Structure 1
Amino acid sequence: MDWSNTKTIFIIVFLVLDVFLLSVFLNRYSTSQFEFIKEASIEDKLKSYNVEYEELPEEVSKEPYITGEVKTFTEREIGELSGQSVRLRQNDTNLVSYLKKPVKLGENKMDDIRSFIESNVLYGDQYSYWDTSEEKDGTTYIFYQYYQDRQMFENIKAQLSIKVNRQGEIVSYHQMMLEKLMENGEEEEILSAHQAVQTLYLNGLIKPNSEISNVELGYYTVVQLTETQVLSPTWYFKIKSGDETKKMYVNAFDGSIYKNEESS
């Protein structure tokens, strides 16, 4: 083969490659610029809607799915609970306890409830406070399990509910729990809190004059079998609009939205 022709072919190939790489670079730069402009416009839109929201977490991390099994409580564990009348339901997965002597709460109710949980509830240090429900006969304080400092949102199989009567006394509690919690699969990059807000906005779920609060990254159940669950990293937002409050969850992997509503 003629060396002159071969050299010319190589030069042309390298020129084409250079042009291709340049086009890839420019395309990525253009895309990043577009994303920046798009994010800025979303912020402007929220501002024009008079939407108030707290400072959003900036970090973008890599997270895994996690799996867990519904715990079956044992007679040995029940034997560790003193001063309580305990019943097991749902194949020993639902522990119901009635205190033989109600525990009076002081002025710092939440501190007293946490102290009670740590001292009187099995694995009580694995639950964190979530919400309060007012009822005719008293108040229920709801706690959920957490995994590596991240709460399992609204997971009935990982819930602890403390019942306080009208006299301000703890009288009973219900407990369920997930065990054998472990990471499943490789860690993947998740949506940022800002991208999750964009997802809610683009789906028409943020109204003018709303208030966004309680932004938190945790876990939400995406697959639930009889004894096993798969949970995905999920962003939580509380959105208040007038007399309506919505709890919104955005799957941090694929942007799927889960929600429920409550009255203020």
Structure 2
Amino acid sequence: MDWSKTKTIFIIAFLVLDLFLLYQYIETRNSNKYDVLQASTIEDTLSANDIQLSQLPQEADKGSYITCNNRIFTAEDLKNKKLKDQHSSTIPVQNNGSQNPVQLSMEFNQPVPLPADNMQEKMQQFVNDNILFGDQYRFWKYDKENNQLIYFQDYKGKTIFQKNPSSGIGVLVFKINDENQIYAYQQSILVNIKEAEDSEDIIPAIKAVEALFKNNEFDLSHKNKVTKAELGYYTQYPFKDSQILAPAWHIVVNGNEDFFVTAIRGEVVKSDQK
């Protein structure tokens, strides 16, 4: 064995490895600098247009589509003890799938007053105790214009967002009378939720805000502030049975304007599709 040649081969091999590692380091550093510069440029552009940002979340950079089904309610569900003080005007027909609804409509035997204080906290307990699968719903908003209290279904800490709660999926809508009492509700829920095996890159929240800006969603006639950004799921086209939900950013502007941006493709959900 020629030790001199062997040593030379080792030296060359280690030199090539060192050069490769140096290249990888420089590429990573430049990439990180580019990401920081890009984020800074977006923020500068928004600031120049009087768009302020609250603290945006730092979410994981991977996400998956999920598939699921609408649960079909049956007459057996009405026997659940949670519903003992309620009745249904449209009783599901047992053993007849074509007549069993995916939306349950119930009325309370006696209207339930809305809590005078700590409404969200107290109502969440009420939902847990008096609604089928109540612990899977989270408060969305109190729609005073339509006298509705709206809850959306939650999956692993992420909300399944809806544009039209009255015809949506995974939604709980309480109806409120003129005396500030809950007298009825409609409910739908998603089951058999499964995540796609392959995860995909998720855009950061700042890129979702940039997508809104580029899509002219901000009213630039006055100052704006992005007050909230949260990652959840969304479908533009709810079906009666199976659903495919995509990761989506929910962006709140000025505390009361809701926008949705798909978190994989970075597309703004149009106003007529939200």
TM over 0.5: yes
- Name the Cα RMSD after superposition: 3.3
Tell me how far apart the structure 1 counterparts of residues 262 and 199 of structure 2 sit (CA, whole Å): 15
CA distance change for structure 1 residues 207 and 170 in 2, over 3 Å: closer, same or farther?
Answer: closer
Q: Which residue does 2:180 correspond to in 1?
A: 168
Cα deviation digits, residues 137-175 of structure 1 (max 9, x gap)? x72001010100100001611110011212121100000
Contact (CA 8 Å) 1:94, 1:176: kept in 2 or not? yes
Contact (CA 8 Å) 1:246, 1:260: kept in 2 or not? no
User: Which amino acid counterpart does residue 158 of structure 2 have in structure 1?
Assistant: R
CA distance change for structure 1 residues 123 and 29 in 2, over 3 Å: closer, same or farther?
Answer: same
1:183 aligns with 2:185: no
Contact (CA 8 Å) 1:211, 1:239: kept in 2 or not? yes
Tell me how far apart the structure 2 counterparts of residues 186 and 133 of structure 1 sit (CA, whole Å): 38
Contact (CA 8 Å) 2:120, 2:139: kept in 1 or not? no
Tell me how far apart the structure 1 counterparts of residues 187 and 50 of structure 2 sit (CA, whole Å): 41
Tell me by how many angstroms 1:255 deviates: 0.6
Cα deviation digits, residues 165-209 of structure 1 (max 9, x gap)? 121211000001111111122222311112222222233333441
CA distance change for structure 1 residues 37 and 174 in 2, over 3 Å: closer, same or farther?
Answer: same
Instruction: Report which stretch shifted further, 145-154 or 35-44.
Output: 35-44
Identity value in percent = 29
Contact (CA 8 Å) 1:218, 1:235: kept in 2 or not? yes
Tell me how far apart the structure 1 counterparts of residues 91 and 153 of structure 2 sit (CA, whole Å): 19
Tell me how far apart the structure 1 counterparts of residues 179 and 121 of structure 2 sit (CA, whole Å): 17
Q: Which residue does 2:5 correspond to in 1?
A: none
CA distance change for structure 1 residues 31 and 202 in 2, over 3 Å: closer, same or farther?
Answer: farther
What is the aligned counterpart of 2:160 among 152, 169, 172?
152
CA distance change for structure 1 residues 115 and 47 in 2, over 3 Å: closer, same or farther?
Answer: same
Instruction: Report which stretch shifted further, 29-38 or 101-110.
Output: 29-38
User: Which amino acid counterpart does residue 214 of structure 1 have in structure 2?
Assistant: K
Contact (CA 8 Å) 1:247, 1:260: kept in 2 or not? no
Q: Which residue does 1:70 correspond to in 2?
A: 70
| Paired residue total | 253
Q: Which residue does 2:12 correspond to in 1?
A: none
Q: Which residue does 1:143 correspond to in 2?
A: 151
Contact (CA 8 Å) 2:73, 2:100: kept in 1 or not? no
Tell me by how many angstroms 1:238 deviates: 1.4
Instruction: Report which stretch shifted further, 252-261 or 39-48.
Output: 252-261
Cα deviation digits, residues 35-76 of structure 1 (max 9, x gap)? 332221211122222212210112433222111101101211
Tell me how far apart the structure 2 counterparts of residues 27 and 190 of structure 1 sit (CA, whole Å): 21
What is the aligned counterpart of 1:106 among 93, 115, 119?
115
Cα deviation digits, residues 65-117 of structure 1 (max 9, x gap)? 11110110121111112121212577421111111111123312333422321
Tell me how far apart the structure 2 counterparts of residues 23 and 207 of structure 1 sit (CA, whole Å): 45
Tell me how far apart the structure 1 counterparts of residues 122 and 26 of structure 2 sit (CA, whole Å): 60
1:1-264 aligned within 5 A: 30-80=30-80, 81-86=83-88, 87-88=90-91, 91-108=100-117, 109-135=119-145, 139-154=147-162, 156-208=168-220, 209-221=223-235, 224-240=238-254, 246-260=257-271
Contact (CA 8 Å) 1:60, 1:191: kept in 2 or not? no
Tell me how far apart the structure 2 counterparts of residues 59 and 93 of structure 1 sit (CA, whole Å): 33
Unmatched runs of 5 consecutive residues or more in structure 2:
1-14, 93-98
Q: Which has the higher strand share?
A: 1
Cα deviation digits, residues 216-237 of structure 1 (max 9, x gap)? 1100115644310011111110
Contact (CA 8 Å) 2:52, 2:226: kept in 1 or not? yes
Secondary structure of the residue aligned to 2:186 is strand
Instruction: Give the structure-1-normalised TM-score.
Output: 0.80
Tell me by how many angstroms 1:257 deviates: 1.2
Contact (CA 8 Å) 2:250, 2:258: kept in 1 or not? yes
Q: Which residue does 2:8 correspond to in 1?
A: none
Secondary structure of the residue aligned to 2:147 is strand
User: Which amino acid counterpart does residue 208 of structure 2 have in structure 1?
Assistant: A
User: Which amino acid counterpart does residue 247 of structure 1 have in structure 2?
Assistant: D
Q: Which residue does 2:4 correspond to in 1?
A: none
Contact (CA 8 Å) 1:234, 1:252: kept in 2 or not? yes
Tell me how far apart the structure 2 counterparts of residues 18 and 188 of structure 1 sit (CA, whole Å): 32
Instruction: Give the structure-2-normalised TM-score.
Output: 0.78
User: Which amino acid counterpart does residue 50 of structure 2 have in structure 1?
Assistant: N
